């Protein structure tokens, strides 16, 4: 499997696993918590068929990448992404993120600019700022995240059961848009992630991206489920039109958080024309 080295922790290199397939205009797909690059299978197939080069990778701490106890912040995540783009010498690239991966897209563009990026897409967006503060009343109360961290410490496996039930809105979509087997596959990937990363990443969800968003000067697409229980539409996607110059927001009616799996036709029907209009 291909890897790049992005740092070191004591005696061990920190390596990021990636996959690089196809040819044509490159698209980098950045996965959400607590999954890995394979979670894009319902998009990768159609992107390859449309003539794109498709690159996926596993965030540090997840999938087949190294599991260090350092670097769980969006400046480091964006640096890891930049190292991958450098390694593969990618230009004129589209960055597509889901959930936590939307933070990489926005922080990358806010930090490194758009010189090598043509377009960006956010699925189940975490920006602009999830934490409720005096100047961000639309956010979520901080005690919610303290409860999540406590649940992870108490029983990481039980936490993932509850999280993934709401990730897919299983009580509504189970047996139709999400099978027991697909849910179990996500659970298997989740529990294989670093226990340290599982806990540490919760704090990154509270990153304030409001300074990054006005710096974005490329076309952006947002696709978000109206019934997202993890990152509610009104606290996230609905606010982005006022903060990014060139952005289109597509709502997926009845969609849960992981619309890339449960509503692939709706997602792909929005994403492919956006990427085709180069």
- Residues annotated as catalytic (active site), given as ranges: 99, 228, 257
d(CA 201, CA 208): 14
* Of 241, 231, 211, nearest in space to 126 by CA: 231
Identify the H or E element spanning 78: helix 74-88
Tokens of 142: 């901080």
Identify the H or E element spanning 233: none
d(CA 2, CA 148): 33
3-state secondary structure of 136: strand
d(CA 250, CA 241): 11
d(CA 75, CA 162): 29
- Residue whose pair of structure tokens reads 């997602």 in the numeric block: 267
Residue 132, judged by CB atoms within 10 A of its CB (0-12, 13-18, 19+), counts as middle
d(CA 164, CA 42): 18
d(CA 94, CA 54): 10
């Amino acid at each position: 499997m291909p890897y790049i080295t992005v740092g070191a922790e004591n005696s061990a290199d920190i390596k990021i696993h990636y996959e690089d397939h196809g040819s044509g205009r490159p698209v980098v797909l950045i996965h959400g918590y607590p999954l890995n690059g394979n979670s894009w299978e319902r998009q990768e197939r159609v992107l390859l068929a449309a003539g794109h080069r498709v690159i996926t990778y596993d965030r540090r701490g997840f999938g087949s990448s190294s599991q260090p106890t350092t670097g769980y912040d969006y400046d480091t995540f964006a640096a890891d992404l930049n190292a991958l783009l450098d390694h593969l010498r990618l230009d004129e690239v589209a960055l597509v993120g889901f959930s936590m991966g939307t933070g990489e897209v926005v922080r990358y563009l806010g930090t490194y600019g758009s010189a090598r990026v043509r377009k960006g897409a956010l699925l189940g967006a975490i920006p602009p700022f999830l934490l409720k503060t005096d100047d961000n009343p639309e956010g979520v109360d901080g005690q919610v995240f303290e409860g999540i961290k406590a649940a992870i410490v108490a029983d990481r496996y039980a936490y993932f059961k509850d999280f993934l039930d709401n990730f897919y809105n299983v009580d509504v979509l189970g047996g139709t848009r999400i099978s027991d087997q697909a849910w179990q596959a996500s659970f298997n990937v989740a529990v294989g992630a670093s226990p340290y990363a599982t806990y540490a990443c919760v704090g990154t969800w509270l990153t304030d991206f409001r300074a990054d968003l006005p710096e974005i000067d490329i076309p952006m697409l947002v696709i978000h489920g109206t019934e997202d229980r993890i990152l509610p539409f009104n606290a996230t996607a609905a606010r982005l039109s006022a903060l990014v110059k060139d952005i289109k927001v597509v709502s997926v009616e009845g969609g849960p958080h992981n619309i890339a799996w449960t509503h692939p036709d709706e997602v792909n029907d929005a994403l492919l024309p956006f990427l085709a209009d180069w």
